[in-house]
Amino acid sequence: MFKPSGIIALTTDFQEDSFYIAEMKVAAYQVARDALIVDVTHAIPPQDVRHASWVLLRALESFPEGTVHVCVVDPGVGTDRKIVAVLIHGQVIIGPDNGLFDVVASRYPVRAVVDLNNEVYFGPRHSATFHGRDVMAPAAAHLVRGIPLESLGEALGEPLITPEKTAGLLAHRDGNVIEGEFILADSFGNMVTNIFAEDIPEEWNLRTIRIEFEGQKLTGLVSTYGDREPGEVVALLGSTGQLEVAIVQGDAAQKCGLRPGIPVKIVCE
Amino acid sequence: MFKPSGIIALTTDFQEDSFYIAEMKVAAYQVARDALIVDVTHAIPPQDVRHASWVLLRALESFPEGTVHVCVVDPGVGTDRKIVAVLIHGQVIIGPDNGLFDVVASRYPVRAVVDLNNEVYFGPRHSATFHGRDVMAPAAAHLVRGIPLESLGEALGEPLITPEKTAGLLAHRDGNVIEGEFILADSFGNMVTNIFAEDIPEEWNLRTIRIEFEGQKLTGLVSTYGDREPGEVVALLGSTGQLEVAIVQGDAAQKCGLRPGIPVKIVCE
Amino acid sequence: MFKPSGIIALTTDFQEDSFYIAEMKVAAYQVARDALIVDVTHAIPPQDVRHASWVLLRALESFPEGTVHVCVVDPGVGTDRKIVAVLIHGQVIIGPDNGLFDVVASRYPVRAVVDLNNEVYFGPRHSATFHGRDVMAPAAAHLVRGIPLESLGEALGEPLITPEKTAGLLAHRDGNVIEGEFILADSFGNMVTNIFAEDIPEEWNLRTIRIEFEGQKLTGLVSTYGDREPGEVVALLGSTGQLEVAIVQGDAAQKCGLRPGIPVKIVCE
């Protein structure tokens, strides 16, 4: 059972300046005028499904139960990829079934998946290139108005997410080494990894563990950026509990040449 | 008769990061606290009235009846150009009379034009350089509260839009050739044209027509980007029914060197 | 006594594309679901407290009585700098005590300062790196719900703002010369200064005063950009009554090489 909170959260690769964002909002408001629409970000790199899948995890962990997320990063728009609604962690995420859900599904159990194929709940406009406006935003707004998830289309019996798809997404520990990778830069250039606080055994000493990447070795985590001098490279557990590498008052992504996919490991000796 | 829906839609050239946007919103909220303000875009290139006039058409076709649009692209602020409210397609557009309305008026009949010169409805702040905040946003909010359009100022008898002004804005067909031009790039770099689906005769075969621009020739329209391989240049009818030229998962504006004003034609043989 | 209007205004250096903005909004909505949250700007240059302090002044003068501002430009997050709420000009500003308040306090009397150390009003998440989400946004939302300012923490007896801190922030006049400096560029590249209309004696003739900066001399103020030809460098009193230097339909910051901190003076002969 999904109980809507009235909040719709938008994550897209439209970029901030795009009128497509307004077109989606209008499509939602026309169904649910009192929806509270919150922009997560529209700056997903164009067509970068993997990046979006990590931002969706942040969003899922930030928004309250009952939120409907709409995520439009959809290079296959108009082809035969399905548009689905996934019930997970007390929230619904609507998006194309193109891998967007792999990260959240590797962290939380998927409760239901519905193929959004009931045209009754489509919007008034139809195009082959903008299903965010024509299908996803209207569906989100119908959920906000209390339409049951199962009314929006056919429940999918087979699992959307398979162990094969999610293998390699999360960090893994082998004895005294945790191996992960950088997943995205935040807006300050801090590089966030897929290593979570709970991946680190409690008995490890956070002040003496070694963080290794790209030939660099850092000793120990700091608590916050201000613990060191401007310009220094530091590692810390960021505001979502994920390991990140930062330069105090600087841009680590740029200055250290770090990109998503570059391996990072923690070693406890 | 204009019946407000409560929605105010903002289109400006202030750029996303500008505190001027907040100043306009506050000016509107102080009159109509429960207005629903939606940003269309603030990324109109500075002072580019022509670009804005095409975005206004998209906005007019996306927003519901009863919307009040405020469009601030106003290189002549403080000079003797009028600020007007135009009733068109069941919505009101407020903006400077500098050509902003030419495109919408070439597609829909103008029902009324009012010169916003009734100072009773001006905001509390007065400047010679920011009429968006001081005149337009307050006027929009008064309309949302139900003040009649004709109370905001003097009805203009002479037509705002003349055939001379709008000549050349729209595509035209001559026998088996439709001649138009590129008008703007969307946020993915897809180049949108002024050729609309309804400009193309029904008997033409969309799979065999030729699209020509800048020495390039494409044969046939695709239905959606995903119909072809990444990197391929395609032509299609986009989400507003306008012809556009795109590169699958790429930036056509940049890679093909396309700019607004470059001619494009469709040939049916 | 502070009477909340229900408006929360956000000013940060997160940059427009940042999901941190959404995380702060969610933290506020979870406390006060009907708060009206308005983005002032998220484009403060990273960690630029001085720039933010001038934008806060604009915001304070634009928003109505009862607004709660949250300003997160916080290079010292997690260190021992305090987070405070300052009652000033009928509004509350919440932010780190790192100099953010110097400009507003040099223009308006500070009525109360509270150290936001009452954990009862912290949000559910705790981090050492994101007090905007964990402390400031929840506090703002509690104010909106009517919690008294003094409940949020300890009143600070000693003055937050001292004459030493604010010396040199404002322009000063010596006889027939007013000396000030450029403080920020707006989104058009117009350079705004710290010289206000009320700093200029009424008997001075605005059409003959001389504006000097970087070896350039301009004679007289214009009323608005459109008074001169495109490309011309002009000086005028902008929409907040501050002296600014602009290029008509151009970018003065870039073309004249102007940056915050560069001196500017007005001479009356």
A57: pLDDT strictly greater than 80: yes
Q: Which residues of B touch A46 (CB under 8 A)?
A: 188, 249
Listed by start position, the domains of chain C span 7-164, 171-267
Local confidence band at C164 (pLDDT 50, 70, 90 cut-offs)? confident
Fold of domain B7-164:
Rossmann fold (3.40.50)
pLDDT of residue A94: 98
Size of interface A-B (CB pairs under 8 A): 80
Contact C87, C155 (CB under 8 A): no
Q: Name residue, tokens 């077109």.
A: A23
- Shortest distance between the Cα of B172 and any Cα of chain A, in A, equals 24
Residue B76's closest chain C neighbor by CA?
C226
- Of B110, B160, B125, B132, which is closest to residue B2 (Cα–Cα)? B110
- Of A65, A71, A72, which is closest to residue A87 (Cα–Cα)? A65
Residue B18's closest chain C neighbor by CA?
C187
Chains in contact with C via at least 3 Cβ–Cβ pairs below 8 Å: A, B
Q: Which residues of B touch A77 (CB under 8 A)?
A: 224-226
pLDDT of residue B244: 96
- Shortest distance between the Cα of C142 and any Cα of chain A, in A, equals 18
Residue B14's closest chain A neighbor by CA?
A17
- Shortest distance between the Cα of B9 and any Cα of chain A, in A, equals 9
Burial class (CB in 10 A: 0-12, 13-18, 19+), A186: buried
* d(C-alpha B74, C-alpha B185), whole Å: 21
- Shortest distance between the Cα of C216 and any Cα of chain B, in A, equals 23
pLDDT of residue A205: 96
Contact call for A59 and C22, based on CB within 8 A: yes
Element (H, E) at C191: strand C191-196
* d(C-alpha A214, C-alpha A184), whole Å: 16
Q: Residue B132: how many CB atoms within 10 A of its CB? A: 27
* d(C-alpha A35, C-alpha A19), whole Å: 19
The tens digit of pLDDT for each residue in C45-69 reads 999 999 999 999 999 999 999 999 9
Q: Which of C38, C187, C236 sits opposite B20 (nearest CB)?
A: C187
Largest CA distance in chain B: 62
C92: pLDDT strictly greater than 80: yes
Chains in contact with A via at least 3 Cβ–Cβ pairs below 8 Å: B, C
Stretch A106-132: mean pLDDT:
94
Q: Which pair of tokens denotes residue A207?
A: 């002040």
Which phi and psi (to 5°) does residue B233 adopt? Answer: -85, 125
Q: Which of C18, C78, C125 sits opposite A223 (nearest CB)?
A: C78
Element (H, E) at B161: none
Burial class (CB in 10 A: 0-12, 13-18, 19+), B207: exposed
Local confidence band at C158 (pLDDT 50, 70, 90 cut-offs)? confident
- Shortest distance between the Cα of B18 and any Cα of chain A, in A, equals 12
* d(C-alpha A19, C-alpha B41), whole Å: 6
C172: pLDDT strictly greater than 90: yes
Q: How far apart are the first and last CA of chain A?
A: 47
**Residue with the larger pLDDT of the pair A175 and B1:** A175
Residues of chain C above pLDDT 90, percent: 86
Least confident of A152-156, A164-168, A195-199, C105-109: A164-168
Q: Residue C255: how many CB atoms within 10 A of its CB? A: 12
Contact call for C76 and A36, based on CB within 8 A: no
Local confidence band at A52 (pLDDT 50, 70, 90 cut-offs)? very high
Size of interface B-C (CB pairs under 8 A): 80
Residues with Cβ within 8 Å of residue C124, at least 6 apart in sequence: C30
* d(C-alpha A111, C-alpha B15), whole Å: 42
- Shortest distance between the Cα of B14 and any Cα of chain C, in A, equals 6
**Residues of chain C in Cβ contact (below 8 Å) with chain A:** 14-23, 25-26, 29-30, 33, 46-47, 75-79, 125, 127-130, 133-134
* d(C-alpha A206, C-alpha A200), whole Å: 9
Stretch C214-236: mean pLDDT:
93
**Residues of chain A in Cβ contact (below 8 Å) with chain B:** 14-23, 25-26, 29-30, 33, 46-47, 75-79, 125, 127-130, 133-134
Burial class (CB in 10 A: 0-12, 13-18, 19+), B86: buried
**Residue with the larger pLDDT of the pair A72 and A167:** A72
Local confidence band at C128 (pLDDT 50, 70, 90 cut-offs)? confident
Q: Which residues of A touch B236 (CB under 8 A)?
A: 128-129
Contact A88, A53 (CB under 8 A): no
Contact B231, B249 (CB under 8 A): yes
Q: Which of B17, B26, B129 sits opposite C41 (nearest CB)?
A: B17
Burial class (CB in 10 A: 0-12, 13-18, 19+), C146: exposed
Contact call for A62 and C26, based on CB within 8 A: yes
Contact B157, B114 (CB under 8 A): no
- Shortest distance between the Cα of C5 and any Cα of chain B, in A, equals 10
- Of C225, C26, C74, which is closest to residue A64 (Cα–Cα)? C26
Contact A242, A196 (CB under 8 A): yes
- Shortest distance between the Cα of B185 and any Cα of chain C, in A, equals 20
Q: Name residue, tokens 């995420």.
A: A93
Contact call for A22 and B38, based on CB within 8 A: yes
Amino acid, single-letter form, for residue A35: A
Contact C239, B127 (CB under 8 A): yes
pLDDT of residue C211: 97
pLDDT of residue B149: 97
A95: pLDDT strictly greater than 80: yes
Contact A221, A195 (CB under 8 A): no
C269: pLDDT strictly greater than 90: no
Contact call for C127 and A7, based on CB within 8 A: no
Fold of domain B171-267:
Elongation Factor Tu (Ef-tu); domain 3 (2.40.30)
Q: Name residue, tokens 């000097």.
A: C212
Residue A101, SS3 per DSSP: coil
Q: Residue C80: how many CB atoms within 10 A of its CB? A: 6
**Residues of chain B in Cβ contact (below 8 Å) with chain C:** 14-23, 25-26, 29-30, 33, 46-47, 75-79, 125, 127-130, 133-134
Stretch A38-49: mean pLDDT:
95
Query: Taking each helix axis from N to C terminus, what angle separates B49-62 and A19-29, rounded to the nearest 10 degrees?
Result: 20
Residues with Cβ within 8 Å of residue B43, at least 6 apart in sequence: A16, A17, A18, B13, B15, B16
Q: What is the mean pLDDT of chain A?
A: 94
Local confidence band at C175 (pLDDT 50, 70, 90 cut-offs)? very high
Residues with Cβ within 8 Å of residue A202, at least 6 apart in sequence: none
Q: Report angle CA B63, B66, B69 to the nearest 5 degrees.
A: 60
Contact call for B17 and C225, based on CB within 8 A: no
Amino acid, single-letter form, for residue B54: W
Question: A88: which strand partners?
Answer: A91, A110
Contact call for B79 and C186, based on CB within 8 A: no
- Shortest distance between the Cα of B1 and any Cα of chain C, in A, equals 30
> How far, in whole angstroms, is CA B223 from its chain's centroid?
25
pLDDT of residue C135: 97
Chains in contact with B via at least 3 Cβ–Cβ pairs below 8 Å: A, C
* d(C-alpha C15, C-alpha B266), whole Å: 42
Which phi and psi (to 5°) does residue A197 adopt? Answer: -50, -40
The tens digit of pLDDT for each residue in C107-127 reads 999 999 999 999 999 999 888
Least confident of A33-37, A45-49, B13-17, C99-103: B13-17
Residue C121, SS3 per DSSP: helix
Tell me the whole-structure pTM to 2 decimals: 0.94
Q: Name residue, tokens 């139960």.
A: A65
Q: Which residues of B touch C225 (CB under 8 A)?
A: 75, 77-78, 129
Residue C269's Cβ-side half-sphere holds a number of Cα atoms within 13 Å equal to 6
A163: pLDDT strictly greater than 80: no
> Hey, of C129, C134, C136, which one would you mutate to test binding to chain A, going by the most A CBs within 10 A of its CB?
C129
Contact call for A79 and B249, based on CB within 8 A: no
- Could you please report the per-residue DSSP string of A30-76? TT-TT-EEEEEES-SPTT-HHHHHHHHHHHHHHSPTT-EEEEE--TT
Q: Which residues of A touch B249 (CB under 8 A)?
A: 46-47, 75
Contact call for C16 and A43, based on CB within 8 A: yes
Q: Which residues of C touch B15 (CB under 8 A)?
A: 187
Contact call for A18 and B236, based on CB within 8 A: no
Residues of chain B with pLDDT under 50: none
